[in-house]
């Protein structure tokens, strides 16, 4: 979501002399949308007043484990919301957080409280602490309410192949991943694509915390997204069950959070993006399976970017796609029907009656919009449910259409990018300078490539190294499998490294087997940015035993495949909540300090190295599993400090952890233990060092 300045007043620093308050007025905006009749005239003042009010904060409870998400929801409902009722601030009663009525399972919430109240009101300060801690570990994600709608309409199942063609910044992609992971071992995959190289890396930060081996991130112009081969046979290409086209747009529906809309709005913004939006939608329909579903969405009010694009796509596909009536979907969501008539204004600010001044004919209503099903589109307005504005359309592909009309000539996007830069839209797009490896949409003429641009600086942890799969019988894999007692049913052929040599040097990754041919058969055609989760990391201080640590990202995947045969020295130990709390508070507690003797005996039966720690999750719940280090004389719970703080707050109800969740360092000697105490040089890195691995990603493996 967009950010405000240090206070709640809309201000800009573009003018010399410091911060100036921006007036939430734009005569051209008001004239244009009044004439379009986007709402009845009797509602205009209510609509326009709401557009100028600050947008409430909304958030989702997230995660690839639906069970965990429901637990966090219950914690919110039972331990925080009841204490936020009947609170007055400066003489006014403060509204507590409320559920979004249309979001499934009560996992999305809205807060209509100002920052001052949250900071200075004690009950809300406690609630804010909960939000911060859960956000730090990825259990809560701040996301605008209307932005949550498109993924829900797709009805993603755990076996689906899904692509998000314009994925950055990634909040909708995260919803798609969560839907795929609705079951314990999903077979579906999610392809997250963005045309901007730098933003595709930023996208990774948004979705990486979900720890999904079923995700792959690509960097291509959505208009020209290439077909992905999945087998060596002729015409064996990946077709998608679900496609999301949340396209670049003028973004004027974000006026409540993006104050620059009021200053910069122009009719040119929507006109310049219209053809690009048609091209992306058309490409998405080509990639979609017959019987599959596609959502087209924008955060714009403009019918030129919305209904006009939808109508043109239906015309082009000649009955092979239909617009789905979503009236019965998402009960509780107030929505308006799509417009079937609209006006077109030229750059000269004059209304046009026909295609002129270079305006494409597809911008104009042509009288067939009702027949095309355009009324089934959805418009969400700010004054209906205190949200931003959004446009959503659900398509179903009835049958394949090899003879579908081309999308028309691709337009160079330099001007479109200027519009997006001006308005600060979350969606950005650009044509790639090198199109030689892409499969173009049919068009009357190929556009000229843009001049090469200077390479942007990437995030510090961006990894540009190639993906290389390891042989199933590689000695390193054999060593790890034997040491950790991993069963033979684990798909070894899905392990890879990120370096040119193809040898395991620092990190071993795991991708879902369905992604193996996607990467291996397309590495010269498709620009892959990210795939897989970290399974093992090399620990150079270990000699004579397995030097590969299990990473927390891959803990759940490996745990499901542990071979528990009689007589095997399985690296699994168990403890109760009391011992877990000790491990959260103290770094490297010595063996002789552990009160749970049964836990200690389990440790002593194992050699030095990483182990799986099972903790009883309570009656009816599955055990909670953590990575733990069994040292020569002490143990360490290998969790980053944010995860430790969250665990202490949610499980043990301990707030305000000193040092933001840092554990206390234990420096006492290991008296009375069978193993010597670890010195600083002998001990493995702490979880904050091993799990972040920032330096590792910058360097070549």
For residue 684, pLDDT over 70 is answered with no
Distance (Å, rounded) from C-alpha 249 to C-alpha 299?
7
| Per-residue confidence band for 184, with pLDDT thresholds at 50, 70 and 90 | confident
| Per-residue confidence band for 234, with pLDDT thresholds at 50, 70 and 90 | confident
Q: What is the pLDDT of residue 310?
A: 98
The pTM for the full model equals 0.86
Measuring CA to CA, how many Å separate 621 from each of 73, 168, 611, 618, 624? 16, 35, 21, 5, 9
For residue 680, pLDDT over 60 is answered with no
Q: Choose the weakest-confidence range: 33-37, 171-175, 345-349.
A: 345-349
Q: What is the pLDDT of residue 380?
A: 98
Query: What one-character DSSP code corresponds to residue 325?
Result: P
Residues 695-701, mean pLDDT to the nearest whole number: 30
Using one digit for the tens of pLDDT, what is the confidence trace for 91-116?
888 889 999 999 999 999 999 887 77
Q: Which residues, 6 or more positions from 236, have their beta carbon under 8 angstroms from its beta carbon? A: 229, 230
Q: What is the pLDDT of residue 433?
A: 33
Residues 601-628, mean pLDDT to the nearest whole number: 87
- Number of Cβ within a 10 Å radius of residue 671: 10
pLDDT mean across residues, the chain: 83
Q: What is the pLDDT of residue 353?
A: 85
Q: Choose the weakest-confidence range: 142-156, 233-247, 408-422, 594-608.
A: 408-422
Using one digit for the tens of pLDDT, what is the confidence trace for 269-281?
999 999 999 999 9
Q: What is the pLDDT of residue 404?
A: 46
Q: Point out the catalytic residue in the list 299, 326, 480, 575.
A: 299
> Bigger pLDDT: 358 or 468?
468
Q: What is the pLDDT of residue 541?
A: 72
Going by C-alpha positions, the residue among 66, 145, 78, 79 that lies closest to residue 111 is 145
Q: What is the pLDDT of residue 99?
A: 97
Q: What is the pLDDT of residue 671?
A: 35
Q: Which residues, 6 or more positions from 74, have their beta carbon under 8 angstroms from its beta carbon? A: none
For residue 357, pLDDT over 90 is answered with no
Strand-strand pairing, 344-345 and 351-352: antiparallel
Distance (Å, rounded) from C-alpha 255 to C-alpha 262?
7
Distance (Å, rounded) from C-alpha 173 to C-alpha 216?
11
Let me know if 480 is a catalytic residue: no
Q: What is the pLDDT of residue 114?
A: 73
Using one digit for the tens of pLDDT, what is the confidence trace for 620-660?
677 889 999 999 999 999 999 999 999 999 889 998 655 44
Q: What is the pLDDT of residue 14?
A: 52
Residues 236-264, mean pLDDT to the nearest whole number: 95
For residue 426, pLDDT over 70 is answered with no
Strand-strand pairing, 528-531 and 215-218: antiparallel
Residues 42-52, mean pLDDT to the nearest whole number: 97
For residue 413, pLDDT over 70 is answered with no
Q: What is the pLDDT of residue 676?
A: 31
Q: What is the pLDDT of residue 3?
A: 35
For residue 398, pLDDT over 90 is answered with yes
Distance (Å, rounded) from C-alpha 336 to C-alpha 314?
20
> Virtual CA dihedral for 38, 41, 42, 43, nearest 10 degrees?
30
- How far is it between the farthest Cα atoms of the chain? 92
Distance (Å, rounded) from C-alpha 660 to C-alpha 147?
31
For residue 470, pLDDT over 80 is answered with yes
For residue 440, pLDDT over 60 is answered with no
Going by C-alpha positions, the residue among 157, 128, 156, 149 that lies closest to residue 140 is 128
For residue 333, pLDDT over 80 is answered with yes
- What share of the chain in percent tops pLDDT 70? 80
> Which token pair is 511?
């991708």
Q: What is the pLDDT of residue 574?
A: 93
For residue 447, pLDDT over 50 is answered with no
For tokens 């209904």, the residue is 307
Q: Tell me the backbone φ, ψ of residue 512, rounded to 5 degrees.
A: -60, 140
Q: What is the pLDDT of residue 16?
A: 52
Distance (Å, rounded) from C-alpha 385 to C-alpha 363?
29
Q: Choose the weakest-confidence range: 70-79, 651-660, 674-683.
A: 674-683
For residue 688, pLDDT over 70 is answered with no
For residue 283, pLDDT over 90 is answered with yes
| Per-residue confidence band for 361, with pLDDT thresholds at 50, 70 and 90 | very high
> Virtual CA dihedral for 576, 578, 583, 589, nearest 10 degrees?
-110
């Amino acid at each position: 979501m967009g950010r405000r300045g240090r206070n709640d007043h809309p201000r800009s620093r573009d003018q010399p002399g410091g911060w100036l308050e921006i007036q939430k007025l734009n005569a051209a905006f008001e004239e244009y949308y009044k004439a379009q009749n986007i709402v009845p005239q009797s509602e205009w003042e209510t609509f326009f007043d709401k557009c100028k009010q600050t947008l409430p904060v909304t958030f989702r409870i997230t995660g690839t484990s639906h069970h965990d998400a429901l637990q966090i929801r219950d914690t919110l409902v039972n331990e925080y919301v009841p204490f936020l009722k009947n609170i007055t601030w400066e003489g006014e009663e403060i509204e507590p957080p409320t559920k979004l009525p249309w979001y499934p399972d009560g996992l999305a919430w809205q807060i209509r409280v100002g920052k001052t109240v949250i900071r200075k009101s004690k009950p809300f300060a406690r609630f804010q602490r909960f939000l911060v801690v859960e956000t730090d570990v990825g259990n809560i994600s701040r996301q605008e309410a209307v932005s949550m709608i498109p993924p829900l309409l797709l009805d993603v199942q755990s076996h689906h192949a899904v692509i998000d063609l314009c994925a950055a910044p990634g909040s909708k992609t995260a919803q798609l991943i969560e839907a795929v992971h609705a079951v314990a071992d999903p077979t579906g995959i999610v392809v997250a694509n963005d045309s901007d190289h730098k933003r595709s890396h930023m996208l990774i930060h948004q979705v990486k915390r979900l720890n999904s081996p079923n995700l792959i991130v690509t960097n291509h112009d959505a208009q020209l997204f290439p077909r992905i081969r999945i087998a060596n046979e002729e015409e064996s290409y990946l077709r998608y069950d679900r496609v999301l086209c949340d396209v670049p747009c003028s973004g004027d529906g974000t006026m409540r959070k993006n104050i620059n809309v009021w200053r910069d709005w122009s009719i040119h913004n929507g006109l310049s993006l219209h053809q690009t939006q048609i091209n992306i939608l058309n490409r998405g329909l080509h990639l979609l399976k017959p019987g599959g579903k596609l959502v087209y969405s924008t955060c714009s009010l403009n019918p030129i970017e919305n209904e006009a694009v939808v109508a043109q796509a239906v015309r082009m596909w000649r009955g092979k796609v239909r617009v789905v009536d979503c009236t019965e979907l998402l009960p509780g969501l107030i929505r308006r029907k799509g417009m079937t008539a609209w006006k077109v204004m030229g750059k000269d600010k004059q209304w046009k009656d026909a295609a002129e001044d270079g305006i494409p004919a597809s911008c104009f209503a042509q009288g067939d919009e009702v027949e095309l099903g355009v009324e089934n589109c959805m418009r969400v307005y700010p004054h209906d449910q205190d949200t931003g504005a959004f446009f959503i359309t659900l398509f179903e592909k009835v049958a394949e259409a090899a003879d579908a009309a081309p999308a028309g000539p691709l337009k160079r996007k330099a001007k479109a990018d200027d519009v997006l830069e001006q308005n600060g839209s979350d969606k950005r797009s650009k044509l790639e300078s090198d199109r030689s490896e892409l499969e173009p949409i049919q068009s009357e003429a190929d556009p000229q490539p843009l001049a090469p641009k200077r390479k942007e600086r990437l995030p510090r942890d961006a990894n540009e190294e190639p993906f290389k799969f390891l042989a199933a019988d590689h000695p390193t894999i054999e060593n790890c499998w034997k040491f950790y007692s991993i069963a033979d049913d684990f798909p070894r052929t899905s392990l890879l490294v990120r370096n040119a040599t193809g040898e395991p040097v620092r990190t071993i990754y795991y991708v879902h087997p369905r992604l193996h041919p996607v990467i291996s058969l397309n590495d010269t055609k498709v620009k892959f940015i990210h795939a897989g989760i970290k399974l093992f990391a090399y620990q150079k201080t270990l000699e004579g035993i397995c030097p590969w640590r299990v990473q927390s990202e891959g803990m759940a995947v490996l745990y499901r495949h542990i071979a528990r045969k009689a007589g095997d020295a399985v690296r699994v130990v168990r403890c109760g909540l009391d011992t877990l709390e000790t491990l959260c508070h103290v770094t490297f507690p010595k063996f002789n300090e552990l009160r749970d003797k049964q836990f200690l005996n389990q440790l002593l039966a194992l050699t030095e190295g990483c182990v799986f720690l099972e903790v009883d999750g309570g009656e009816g719940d599955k055990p909670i599993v953590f990575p733990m280090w069994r040292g020569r004389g002490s143990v360490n719970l290998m969790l980053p400090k944010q995860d430790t703080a969250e665990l202490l707050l949610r499980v043990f109800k301990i707030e305000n952890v000193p040092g933001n969740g840092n554990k206390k360092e234990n420096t006492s000697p290991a008296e009375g233990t069978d193993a010597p105490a670890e010195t600083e040089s002998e001990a493995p890195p702490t979880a904050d060092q091993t799990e972040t691995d920032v330096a590792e990603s910058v360097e070549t493996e």
